[in-house]
Amino acid sequence: MKTTMKRVTTTVLALGMMSGPLAAAELRFTIWTGNEAHLKMLNGFAESFKAKHPDVTVKYETIPPGDYTQKLTFQLAGGNPPDAGWLMEDAAPTFASAGVLENLAPVLNKAEGYDFADFSKPALGLWTAGDKVYGVPFSTSPFVIFYNKDLFDKAGLEDPNALAAKGQWNMTKFQEVAKKLKDTSGKWGFEFKDGQGYDTRIMHALMPPIRAAGGDVWANKQCGFDKPEAVAAVKQLHDMVFKDKSIVPPGEQGDYFSGGSAMTINQISRASLMPKAGFKWGIAPLPTGAGGESPVIGQAGVVVFSAGKQKQLAAEFVAHVTNKENVAAAAQFFPPARKSVLESDAFIKSNNLIPPEQMKVVANAIAKGRVLPAHEKSPQILAAMKPRVDALWRANADVEASLKAICTAIQPLL
Amino acid sequence: MAKTLTMRDTTDREKASWLTLKMREAMEAWLFISPTLAGFLIFFVGPLIAVAWYSLTEWNLLTQQATFVGLDNYEDALFRNPDFWHVVRNSVIFAVGLVPLNMALALSLALPLSGRFPGVVIFRTVFFAPVVTSAVAWAIVWKFLLQGEAGFINQILAQIGIDGPNWLREPNWAMAAVIVTRVIKMVGLNMILYIAALQAIPRDYEAAARLEGASGWQIFRWITWPLLGPTTLVIMVITTIGSFKVFDHIYQMTGGGPENGTLVLAFYIYQQGFQFFDVGYASALAMIMFVIVMILTLFQLVLRRRDT
């Protein structure tokens, strides 16, 4: 009898232990940051999600940004889909048209106090199709100029913010100060985002000056690289690289963050590198051109994968991380697309590395900016552009002919 | 005990007497090789058949939709896609540049290093070290050395009055640069193979030739070189195959650029399959590469057989 009782108790206990993990759920969420501050914040979101779903844990999986889209695709194709994750803007149209993203509208519309209308309409362009919502932008981060104040002071130059205040911060001035900075300090005047721009981040290099000149890389399925505005803008950039020698040329290393270049273009998430830089710095708007103020925005969204097994739960988690409170908390790293947060005082003061008046530059750029171009055939377009862009970045290149060649190569894909 | 064993042994044999000795041996042999055979079938033949099948489909990795298109992918690659022939040309240039350079360098290193003198092991290690160095680290270091004006190589060249090119940004120079850096990385492996082959040549041959008054060159030309023949063939075959399959080096150093100047077949396959997610097309290209490498290997084997 005793033995039987023992057996029953053991079985009950074992079943009890087994039912624990069975009831609990784990969401797998892919991201491309490994930054401790970012992870701490994300884990905080997972923790607060427990208020409604006490037995749900979220496992974040970091995939390096360079391999992100590719590895994510392998996971989806290999039958090992994450439940949810971040998605870069250039991959959004490809993924949405492939039907691998879940429509979040039903969950977002039902979520308590979510207020979907709070998201700025232009910021949702890449992520919605009619009533369907394939993702929610969590970072709508404009490109700004980071400058080395010490080098500007040494060269006796007014810094970009002072020039912008006088309405003089335009592409002509930008070229002029970049050259002076190079000539006086021996450091590079300017470098493209993260010292790239020629082999990778091609769009990040060409897009801002082209838009400032009033052009576009493509619009309405028409290539814009060979239009007069784009040609003029790229010619100026080419002169800066090869005639003025003020921009870090292809095949060389600059590194703004260690003082190698006086200016660079980047997003505010990079401000976290600045405390270690050891020089005075600031952020300023992009220089204007014939097209007036034309801020360029880089975007990333949160999505749920259709192949996942816990779509409803994953969608609820997306609604949680993009609610007003959490968007406000994330704003210090990832500028928001929620109007209420963007217009709040809290956002302007959210980043303790960037003074409020410079955060206004960011808020203003989000309000007026347009996102980088994206296309469902982005990978093919970039691959078709690459050899022609290589030809463009040679000292003796015929800029106009190279830009025409880019259009010939990508027009069929557009 | 021993008796019991013998009895059982006999009984077993009697039971299996319908099997001839030959059949029994064959069965044992199959049993012995079956683990390896299973691995070979699952991990080599299986994927090969799968790739051959995929190559007949239009299969998008992301949408997971596959449609049978017959030989369309092959037709497109061979007759409609101008990039394909450009890529094949690049692969041939890479192989033609790399194989002779690698073999010549490997042999010239192996000849002195096959001897026994103090410090020989250190020299062998030095030349072999790049083979075991991480390909990524190797490429990053070389990318730094081969930078434009600020690059170490160009600064050295400037000291002697030469204005070096921007190595990895000009198509022809970039190809030369990836070939040479690849040769330096991999030459140690072939060097070791040659050293082993040289050490296997009996000393008596050389001694006899010397007695006959043969010069160093004559000994090399008429004794060493012919005896190295089988090793040379093996080295030539594996280096050629390796050069057609080169991927990591190109991926790290040039990404196929500039102006597609170093876009080789393996990298192109990767691009189609893993960047554009067009697995069907990538599989067709992989099959074409398989055939090219197979033909080249057979050609070398025939050439060698005719030679001997």
Q: What percent of chain A has pLDDT over 70?
A: 94
Q: B71 falls in which pLDDT band (50, 70, 90)?
A: very high
How far apart are alpha carbons A287 and A145 in whole angstroms?
A: 8
A/B interface, count of CB pairs below 8 Å: 66
Tokens for B109, please give them.
């290193």
Spell out which residues of chain B touch residue A250, defining contact as CB-CB under 8 Å.
Answer: 148, 166, 169
pLDDT at A319 over 90: yes
Share of chain A above pLDDT 90, in %: 61
pLDDT of residue B3 exceeding 80: no
pLDDT at residue A16, as a whole number: 44
Shared-domain flag, residues A267 and A399:
yes
Question: Do A129 and A159 fall within a single domain?
Answer: no
pLDDT of residue B2: 44
* pLDDT higher than 80, residue A1: no
The single-letter code of the amino acid at A101 is L
Q: What is the DSSP letter of A247?
A: B
* pLDDT value of residue A82: 96
Quick one: A124 and A148 in the same domain?
no
Query: What would the two tokens of residue B258 be?
Result: 């500039």
What is the pLDDT of chain A when averaged over all its residues?
89
**pLDDT value at residue A125:** 86
Pairwise CA distance, residues B245 & B294, whole Å: 12
> Does the distance separating the beta carbons of B169 and A251 come in below 8 Å?
yes
**Claim to verify: residue A80 and residue A176 sit in the same structural domain:** no
pLDDT of residue A102: 96
At B215, the pLDDT band (50, 70, 90 cuts) reads: very high
pLDDT for the residue numbered A4:
54
**Are residues B126 and B112 in contact, defined by beta-carbon separation less than 8 angstroms?**
no
Region label for B49, one of left (φ > 0), alpha (ψ between -120 and 50) or beta (otherwise):
alpha
CA distance B237 to B210: 33
C-alpha B109: how far from its chain's center? 20
Q: Looking at the structure, tell me whether residues A316 and A287 fall in a common domain.
A: no
Q: What's the 3-state SS for chain B? A: CHHHHHHHHHHHHHHHHHCCHHHHHHHHHHHHHHHHHHHHHHHHHHHHHHHHHHCCEEEECCCCEEEECCCHHHHHHHHHCHHHHHHHHHHHHHHHHHHHHHHHHHHHHHHHHCCCCCCHHHHHHHHHHHHHCCHHHHHHHHHHHCCCCCCHHHHHHHHCCCCCCCHHHCHHHHHHHHHHHHHHHHHHHHHHHHHHHHHCCCHHHHHHHHHCCCCHHHHHHHHHHHHCHHHHHHHHHHHHHHHHCCCHHHHHHCCCCCCCCCCCHHHHHHHHHHHCCEHHHHHHHHHHHHHHHHHHHHHHHHHHHHHC
Interface contact A383-B276, CB threshold 8 A? yes
pLDDT at A43: 95
Q: Do B151 and A94 touch (CB under 8 A)?
A: no
Question: Domain B72-307 belongs to what topology?
Answer: MetI-like fold (1.10.3720)
Claim to verify: residue A37 and residue A88 sit in the same structural domain? yes
Domain count along chain A: 2
Q: Give me the interface pTM, i.e. the ipTM.
A: 0.78
Same domain, residue pair A249 and A231: yes
Strand residue runs (E) in A267-404: 281-284, 296-304, 370-371
Residue A279 has pLDDT above 50, yes or no: yes
Distance from the B251 Cα atom to the nearest Cα atom in chain A, whole angstroms: 12
Per-residue pLDDT at B139 exceeds 60: yes
Q: Which residues of B touch A73 (CB under 8 A)?
A: 61-62, 277
Confidence category of residue A325, pLDDT binned at 50, 70, 90: very high
pLDDT on residue A23: 54
**Residue A402: closest CA among chain B residues belongs to which residue?**
B259
In this predicted model, what pLDDT tens digit does every residue of A154-205 receive, in sequence order?
Answer: 999 999 999 999 999 999 999 999 999 999 999 999 999 988 888 888 988 9
Q: Which residues pair with B59 in a beta bridge?
A: B66
Q: Does A370 touch chain B (CB under 8 A)?
A: no
Q: Which domain holds residue A45?
A: 2-141+298-371
Chain A hits for B166, CB-CB cut-off 8 Å, are 249-251
Provide the 8-state DSSP code for A393: T
Span of A89-93, A114-118, A271-275, B103-107 with lowest mean pLDDT: A271-275
Q: What is the pLDDT of residue A63?
A: 94
CATH of the domain at A49: 3.40.190.10
Interface of A with B in 371-400 (CB under 8 A): 379-380, 383, 386-388, 390-391, 393-394
Answer for the pair A94, A269: CB distance below 8 angstroms, yes or no.
no
Residue B60 — very low, low, confident or very high, per pLDDT cuts 50/70/90?
Answer: confident
Q: Over 90: is that where the pLDDT of B263 sits? A: yes
> Would the CB atoms of A387 and B260 count as touching at under 8 Å?
yes
User: How many other CB atoms are there within 10 angstroms of residue A297's CB atom?
Assistant: 23
Cβ <8 Å between A380 and B276: yes
The domain ranges of chain B are: 15-54, 72-307
Q: B238 to chain A, minimum CA–CA distance in Å?
A: 30
- Read off the tokens for A15: 């079943």
A130 & A207 share domain: no
For residue range A110-158, list pLDDT tens digits in order. Answer: 998 999 999 988 888 889 988 999 999 999 999 999 999 999 999 999 9
> Per-residue confidence at A5, pLDDT binned at 50, 70, 90?
low
